[in-house]
Amino acid sequence: MWYLPFWNLRLGKFIKYIPYFIISGFMNGVDVIIILLHINPVLWQKGLGKITDAIVAIPKSVASKI
């Protein structure tokens, strides 16, 4: 629902003025966060909601599987 004002005001047309490398970097950052949040569940560990907790827990999760 938060996107409805943007849709009503047709603000999506301004995305063409943002350089490609900015959008690409933003999307890569989102991808890295998603991957980091999914490492623990892939290793059969409890999924964590915060990215900082997930990063701290990765070595422990990997060590428990070795």
Predicted confidence at residue 66, as pLDDT, reads: 67
Predicted confidence at residue 24, as pLDDT, reads: 92
Q: What is the pLDDT along the chain (66 residues), one digit of tens a residue?
A: 777 887 788 777 877 888 889 989 999 999 998 888 888 887 787 777 788 888 888 888 778 766
Predicted confidence at residue 14, as pLDDT, reads: 79
In this prediction the pTM is 0.63
Contact, 45 vs 61, CB < 8 A? yes
Contact, 53 vs 34, CB < 8 A? no
